[in-house]
Structure 1
Amino acid sequence: MQKSVDIVNQTEGQVAETVVESIHSVMHLFRAQQYRVLRDGPHALTTMESKVLGFFSRRIGATLSDLVSHTGRDKGQLARLIGGLRDRGLLEAKADEEDRRNLRLYLTADGAAIHRTLHRQRQRLSSLAVEGLSTVEREQLLAVLAKVRANLERAS
């Protein structure tokens, strides 16, 4: 049974917190179900590890510096994350032909298989999440979420 939310008797600040908590819970539930497909396998991944695999699946042969530029995250943190993925056989590095100091990163066969599994699961869950919503409702939801995002981006 779905829990109802009483916003009539809440202050504006409480309603805002309820909205943001709701967005958070939906994404938490989505991520938990997304990674459930890998939980029992040999390669349980974190969200960031899966994003890194996705990056290198789209940008074949990119470098750590490319990833840092794309994400804006700490280079040391990403280097450790990539090292872990390499140790687990999900990424491999090859020296750049023009500059042997640079390492180009590629998904291994196992890394590509895991990425495909996560992609299929994400597609399935995305369809399930919006099931029963009309096209108009989906467009309205996207518009409202775009406003929420714009508000947060403006605040930073």
Structure 2
Amino acid sequence: MRKKVDQVNQNPAAIDGHAALQVVDAMHKIMHLYRTQQHRSLRDAQHDLAHMEIKVLGFFARHPGGSPSDLVAHSGRDKAQVARLIRGLRERGLLEAEADAADRRSTRVTLSAAGLELHTALHSHDGELAEAAMAGLSEGECAMLAALLGRVRANLEAGQG
């Protein structure tokens, strides 16, 4: 049985005639559908990970030996939240941490063997999900969409100042 997309706080009349709002609404709906399917696959595979835990695994997969401070800077999350996420993933055997040889006050974090295996499975599924999402689009269309979304992101980042 397919679950309907949540309609809470959605007012189609409010965005009619506003191209920019329609685009942002479409991006929101796409990410909601993507994350819903991502979480469904996690449940089906019996992985009990929250969205941020997946992000933490991905960060340390891309930055092995990174520090919690590196993750704070990258994610924009506060130190306490990052510390809780790392601690929880270490307790589950998905991350390993050791003191930095050059600075014993600093911790270096890597994926454990189990964390690497899980991240590889998640990354594989994400690739399949991305391929399904882009089905029917040419490489050129995908490149154009990525460039346009990059401009949207840059606009938003410029407005944060």
Q: TM-score range by the shorter chain?
A: 0.7 to 0.9
User: Shift of residue 83 of structure 1?
Assistant: 0.9
Q: Which TM-score applies when normalising by structure 2?
A: 0.79
- Map Cα deviations across residues 13-35 of structure 1 (whole Å, 9 max, x no partner): xx432221111111111122123
The runs of 5 or more residues in structure 2 that have no matched partner are 1-11
CA distance 1:69–1:151, change in 2 (3 Å): closer
2:157 partner amino acid: E
* RMSD over aligned Cα atoms: 2.3
1:10 aligns with 2:20: no
Whether 1:66 aligns to 2:70 is yes
TM-score between the two structures when normalised by the length of structure 1: 0.82
Percent of paired sites with the same residue: 51
**1:5-154 superposed matches below 5 A:** 10-12=16-18, 15-154=19-158
Instruction: Report the 3-state secondary structure (helix = DSSP H, G, I; strand = E; otherwise coil) of the residue aligned with 2:110.
Output: strand
CA contact (8 A) 1:35 1:118 kept: no
Task: Give the number of the structure with larger relative contact order, counting CA–CA contacts within 8 Å between residues 6 or more apart.
Answer: 1
**Is the contact between residue 53 and residue 115 of structure 1 (CA under 8 Å) also seen in structure 2?**
yes
1:140–1:106 Cα change, 3 Å = closer
Return the offset for 1:142: 2.3
Contact 1:60 1:106 in 2 (8 A): yes
The residue matched to 2:16 in structure 1 has which SS?
coil
Deviations 1:53-83 (A, max 9, x none): 1111122122111212222321111001111
Q: CA contact under 8 A between 2:97 and 2:107: conserved in structure 1? A: yes
Aligned residue type for 1:132: G
Compare 119-128 and 26-35 and name the one that shifted more: 26-35
- Deviation at residue 42 of structure 1 after TM alignment: 4.8
Could you list the runs of 5+ residues in structure 1 that have no partner in the other structure? 1-5
Residue 147 of structure 1, CA deviation:
3.0
Measured against aligned partners, the alpha-carbon deviations of 1:82-107 in whole angstroms (never above 9, x if no partner) come to 11111111112122223333222121
